[in-house]
């Protein structure tokens, strides 16, 4: 009976010790897990914040005439005063421009072509440009060129380049 009591006492002490260790390690793990959470920072404000509450009289580009004067001698087809969210292409995602930013969207046709970085559109180029109404900054510039009308400034690929490209597909 005495050895039974001793064995029972040893089992109880071991159980208490294991339980204490488990409790301490679980608490320690929880504390470490909280400490390891990355710090979340608020997003930076847009470089071009919303300005829909500002009067147009405060802007650099107030009228279509001012936009035309800034762009110079272009065959302008259309000029629209819009919010950035309505002027940008659906695929454009730019955190630097607030959707409620006032802009001028200009479309122009270049029947005789247009030169730009990387090449030239020989004929019937279509230009879309979005200008910030408040600052006059260029927010977007896109040139569309009909098939067969684009000339690249880059050298033509060699036969070896074309073979490598074909084999990579």
Mean pLDDT is lowest, of 21-25, 59-63, 81-85, for 21-25
The bridge status of strand 119-121 relative to strand 114-116 is antiparallel
> Using 50, 70 and 90 to split pLDDT, how confident is the model at 117?
confident
pLDDT bin (cut points 50, 70, 90) of residue 140 is very high
Lowest mean pLDDT, pick from 20-24, 76-80, 90-94: 20-24
Beta partners for residue 108, in sequence order? 76, 127
CA gap 165, 31 in Å, rounded: 54
Q: Find, among 136, 160, 3, 6, the residue nearest to 71 by Cα.
A: 136
Enter the tokens of residue 56: 């147009």
Residue 94 CB coordination number (10 Å) = 14
What residue has token string 């690929």?
157
């Amino acid at each position: 009976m005495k050895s039974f009591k001793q064995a029972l006492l040893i089992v109880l002490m071991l159980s208490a010790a294991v339980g204490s260790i488990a409790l301490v390690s679980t608490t320690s793990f929880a504390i470490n897990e909280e400490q390891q959470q990355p710090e979340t920072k608020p997003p930076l404000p847009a470089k071009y914040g919303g300005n829909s509450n500002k009067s147009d009289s405060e802007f650099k580009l107030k009228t279509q005439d001012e936009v035309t004067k800034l762009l110079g001698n272009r065959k302008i087809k259309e000029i629209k005063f819009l919010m950035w969210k309505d002027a940008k292409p659906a695929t454009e995602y730019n955190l630097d421009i607030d959707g409620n930013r006032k802009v001028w969207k200009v479309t122009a046709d270049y029947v005789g072509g247009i030169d730009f970085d990387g090449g030239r559109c020989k004929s019937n180029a279509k230009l879309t440009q979005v200008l910030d109404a408040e600052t006059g900054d260029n927010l977007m510039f896109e040139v569309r060129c009909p098939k067969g009308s684009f000339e690249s400034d880059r050298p033509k690929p060699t036969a070896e380049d074309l073979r490598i490209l074909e084999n990579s597909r």
